[in-house]
Structure 1
Amino acid sequence: MQGSGIRRAFLAKYLLHQRRTFSQLAEKLSSVPGNDAPIPKIPPFDYSPPPYTGPSAAEIMQKRKEYLSPSMFCFYDKPINVVDGKMQYLFDENGRRYLDAFGGIATVCCGHCHPDVVKAIVDQTNRLQHSTILYLNPAIADFAEALASKLPGDLKVVFFTNSGTEANELAMMMARQYTGCQDIVSLRNAYHGNAAGTMGATAQSNWKFNIVQSGVHHALNPDPYRGVFGSDGKMYAKDVQDLINFGTSGHVAGFMSEAIQGVGGIIELAPGYLPAVYSTIKKAGGLCIADEVQAGFARTGSHFWGFESHGVVPDIVTMAKGIGNGIPLGAVVTTPEIAQVLTRRSYFNTFGGNPVCTAAGHAVLRVIERENLQENAHVVGSYLKERLTDLKDKHEIIGDVRGRGLMLGIELVTDRQLKTPAKIETLHVMDQMKEMGVLIGKGGFYGNVFRITPPLCFTKEDADFLVDAMDYTMAKM
């Protein structure tokens, strides 16, 4: 306890010092003799938001403290009051523009307030905001058909939910009902949601409350950077067979994993892992569940779904976030045979399949296809990863650069050999990049991984600005 208090005091003192010294960083550095590194400039953008006349950031923060859950937290020592957005940019209460490289946690795929998505929402809202799926409406049926066309094999039956947590909860229940088994295997370091069932599948103590969580076994994480077997996917896969042999009856309900772990710090699964594990799970009578909440909807660039890069076809696919570009929407897609399990009782979701949400989702699909956003994610994401890899050669604090498309991670360490997490340094870089106009995410068990998941309309100019801002900040540490 005493050590924890000392660390908190040190961190508070460090951040206070940064707040005092960085507020005038740009002005000071520009006037320092011999300072030959120009401050990176945000790319030009032809949009100015209307004047903001609402409450200030300080007033909003006071209301949050008084009326909202104390569990809610903000990024940055001085949180931003975001009041406007357009494509890959956000604007604060003073009209200052920021490059959004976090995309609302991999949610905004088409771009903030994309006109086609906004139009679909407004048009449907003006006509019918909500009824119930007990009546017929074209919005849900049309979107389900379009969504099913993007999936391989016999994955064509859709259940709509409101979030990724709901989708994963439903997928786990379906696997248990279909197989008659309770045991589910997930990965250490995984995040699948924060409800009762999905919290069990989640495997980071940071996100798990002390409640009863049973029926889930957590396998070794096939992490090429920190994992015990490096990039040998088949060696990690043996652990799943061991879990089945020694921790279950020999039969399981299923296996759930992300193709790239988002909250866990943009961890790509070791090559060869998923095919081997899927085979093992099938032999044990289980179903394979692909959590595409963050990696889906063209974000990885090379494929529309993250699991496709591993050459596997799951039995159930869950999705949310990018599916609606910010609208509360999620889905579970499975085969007609597996879908039948929900007819054993009544399954119902009041808002799942809401006409406004499904109209938005359908518009998102059309925009991704028409604007070639998957190709853009591949081209710009590959360019950005290459530039970040070059940055790693320049700055020792960067331990690893990983991910694909526009789902990238940069892990900071104070010692490359020991891979010691650079927690305080991560906060420092993140805060100073914000001051220069770049917003990025943070994740990983140790909180030392930058998560870059911008809207898929990100450009190479945006990528250059992001890398230059990071380079500039690290050079001044």
Structure 2
Amino acid sequence: MILAWRHVPRTLCLETSSPRTPRTSKTYPSLGLSRAFWRSVTKLGLHTKPRMPPCDFTPERYQSLPYDRVLEIHRRHLSPLMTAYFSKPLLLHQGHGQWLFDHEGNRYLDFFSGIVTVSVGHCHPKVNAEAQKQLGRLWHTSAVFFHPPSHEYAEKLSALLPEPLKVIFLTNSGSEANDLAMLMARAHSKNADIISFRGAYHGCSPYTLGLSNVGQFKMTLPSGMGCQSTMCPDVFRGPWGGSCCRDSPVQTIRKCSCAPDCCQAKDQYIEQFKDTLNTSVAKSIAGFFAEPIQVQTGFGRLGSHFWGFQTHGVLPDIVTMAKGIGNGFPMAAVVTTPEIATSLAKCVLHFNTFGGSPMACAIGSAVLQVIKEENLQENSQEVGTYMLLKFAKLRDEFEIIGDVRGKGLMIGIEMVKDKMSLQPLPREEVSQIHEDCKRMGLIIGRGGIFSQTFRIAPPMCVTKAEADFAVDVFRCAVTQHMERRAL
């Protein structure tokens, strides 16, 4: 039972509610809400719990390993790295659309999408049907044989990309795709040095670790040779730019002298990049890796364009893609020009045993079909902008919300100690807010150099009602945190 103060005049509300049970309430006369009362509410973890939107799906009863047994197996046999979210890790059992269900039947709204990977929703019926059909026909052949799903998918994917980006290499993960792109760039240019942005994440393979510029992913062992970093054009924390410089419905709170649609900061960041070219790499480089937004983008998630690079009016030589390409199925791709593909073929016999399997390609085709038929790019634009503007109002309300940024259904919320210093909110405080969101039924991600940024990226089928719930939960969690700080 949750004793909660609902923000209506002169009433207290006793709510017996959870993601699994119906909500009932009784109101009582005001008890005189003193500061001491608020402290007791905060101390006991008692707070308003926003009403969760309905879901017309009932999960199967969990009948697998007991939770304690799962923890023991994980401790003894799986990676010792502490990667699991939450003090009590979630044991997930089933997914449906934008919803997840744990082993106890609790329901959660998934606003992280398996690290921005579930694009069209968990277990989408059309994707499931195509996967089951292919599963009964042919699982695997390897690239030494032809099979229709790979050719059908290559034709559909290439039709979405501009000329001359028409040659596709199918792989199994984003790290593998970025590895291959690095090899392509070096084979074609006959140079070695590659530049990427500070703060970038491009994978954890030995090659891509050199491109990933987040401290916790760096190793004391040699890896990723020939990679250099350059300053990321960050108009919130960087030295230049401000309230007129961002390609987003929401601008940063920091003021700048730039005129609308005439950003002066870009020239200063370009000069800094030239300095990197003059001081940190050889005379000629192999390539420059850049994310359009410094997280995963593409496949319509940004709303305004299908591909992130299109939002910047540039045409890259190579495009890598993974994450939402297979709605969670292991799949990735590298797309490049015929000229660069030929350069690679002259240098190495590139071969991938599992890349572009019949299963992966059938699923990939189904994902593209669903995005088009269900207008999910348009939904990303509409619901994403709606939600982004609502989160921006929270930024104006709370001192510890430093920045709200993003486009479409790709949103970052950066937490700070205060808006004057912009120092990152301590990790343990961010974790408290994260835990409170989960307790109220909302799953969001974490990111940033100091793990101070919440990542909001729900499946592209999300609704405005679900966006409202997410904003309400986040507001409630931040409110509760501010009250804890005041004690």
Structure 1 and Structure 2 fold alike (TM over 0.5): yes
Q: Pairwise mapping of residues 12-161 of structure 1 onto structure 2 (< 5 A)?
A: 26-27=2-3, 30-31=13-14, 33=31, 38-161=48-171
What are the superposed Cα offsets for residues 402-458 of structure 1, whole Å, 9 maximum, x if unpaired? 011111000111121111111222111110110100000011011111000110001
**Match for residue 246 of structure 1 among 261, 264, 279:** 279
What are the superposed Cα offsets for residues 264-304 of structure 1, whole Å, 9 maximum, x if unpaired? xxxxxxxxxxxxxxxxxxxxxxxxxxxxxx20111111111
Match of 2:413 in 1: 410
Q: How far apart, in 1, do the equivalents of 2:277 and 2:435 lie?
A: 45
Residue 398, structure 1, aligned to residue 408, structure 2: no
Displacement of 1:106: 0.5
Task: Output the amino acid matched with 1:427.
Answer: S
Match of 2:356 in 1: 353
Displacement of 1:210: 1.5
Q: How far apart, in 2, do the equivalents of 1:384 and 1:83 lie?
A: 28
What are the superposed Cα offsets for residues 3-34 of structure 1, whole Å, 9 maximum, x if unpaired? xxxxxxxxxxxxxxxxxxxxx7x346544955
Residue 427, structure 1, aligned to residue 438, structure 2: no
CA spacing shift, 1:435–1:167, aligned 2, 3 Å: same
Match of 1:235 in 2: 268
Q: Pairwise mapping of residues 302-313 of structure 1 onto structure 2 (< 5 A)?
A: 302-313=304-315
Moved over 6 A (4+): none
Match of 2:344 in 1: 342
Displacement of 1:464: 0.4
Match of 2:463 in 1: 459
Q: Is the 8 A contact 2:4 2:49 kept in 1?
A: no
Q: How far apart, in 1, do the equivalents of 2:396 and 2:147 lie?
A: 55
Q: How far apart, in 1, do the equivalents of 2:53 and 2:175 lie?
A: 36
Q: How far apart, in 1, do the equivalents of 2:88 and 2:230 lie?
A: 39
CA spacing shift, 1:128–1:399, aligned 2, 3 Å: same
Q: Is the 8 A contact 2:302 2:407 kept in 1?
A: yes
Task: Output the amino acid matched with 1:308.
Answer: Q
Q: How far apart, in 2, do the equivalents of 1:247 and 1:395 lie?
A: 41
* Worse overlay, 239-248 or 421-430: 239-248
Runs (5+) with no aligned partner, structure 1:
1-23, 263-293
What are the superposed Cα offsets for residues 146-200 of structure 1, whole Å, 9 maximum, x if unpaired? 1111111210100001000000000011000100000111111111111111111
Q: How far apart, in 2, do the equivalents of 1:38 and 1:346 lie?
A: 61
Q: How far apart, in 1, do the equivalents of 2:367 and 2:149 lie?
A: 13
What are the superposed Cα offsets for residues 185-230 of structure 1, whole Å, 9 maximum, x if unpaired? 1111111111111111111111111222421121111111111112
Question: Percent identity of the aligned residues?
Answer: 44
Match of 2:17 in 1: none
Q: How far apart, in 2, do the equivalents of 1:258 and 1:78 lie?
A: 33
Structure (1 or 2) with the larger CA radius of gyration: 2
Q: How far apart, in 2, do the equivalents of 1:226 and 1:476 lie?
A: 27
SS in structure 2 at match of 1:186? strand
Q: Pairwise mapping of residues 201-280 of structure 1 onto structure 2 (< 5 A)?
A: 201-212=211-222, 213-230=224-241, 231=245, 232-262=265-295
Q: How far apart, in 1, do the equivalents of 2:60 and 2:325 lie?
A: 28
Q: Is the 8 A contact 2:302 2:408 kept in 1?
A: yes
Task: Output the amino acid matched with 2:324.
Answer: G
Residue 469, structure 1, aligned to residue 473, structure 2: yes
SS in structure 2 at match of 1:154? coil
Task: Output the amino acid matched with 1:399.
Answer: G
Number of aligned pairs? 422
SS in structure 2 at match of 1:128? coil
Displacement of 1:353: 0.8
What are the superposed Cα offsets for residues 311-357 of structure 1, whole Å, 9 maximum, x if unpaired? 11100000001000000000000011111123222100000011101
Q: How far apart, in 2, do the equivalents of 1:39 and 1:65 lie?
A: 34
Runs (5+) with no aligned partner, structure 2:
6-12, 15-29, 42-46, 246-264, 482-487
Task: Output the amino acid matched with 1:437.
Answer: G
Match of 1:330 in 2: 332
Task: Output the amino acid matched with 1:239.
Answer: Q
Match of 2:323 in 1: 321
Displacement of 1:255: 0.4
Q: How far apart, in 2, do the equivalents of 1:52 and 1:444 lie?
A: 35
* Worse overlay, 168-177 or 419-428: 419-428
The normalised TM-score by structure 1 is 0.86
The normalised TM-score by structure 2 is 0.84
Q: How far apart, in 1, do the equivalents of 2:267 and 2:171 lie?
A: 34
* Worse overlay, 47-56 or 238-247: 238-247
Match of 2:18 in 1: none
Match of 1:365 in 2: 368
Match of 1:163 in 2: 173
Displacement of 1:38: 4.5
SS in structure 1 at match of 2:417? strand
Task: Output the amino acid matched with 1:441.
Answer: G
Task: Output the amino acid matched with 2:181.
Answer: A
Task: Output the amino acid matched with 1:428.
Answer: Q
Q: How far apart, in 1, do the equivalents of 2:372 and 2:68 lie?
A: 41
Q: What is the root-mean-square deviation in Å for CA atoms of aligned residues?
A: 1.6
Q: Which has the higher helix share?
A: 1
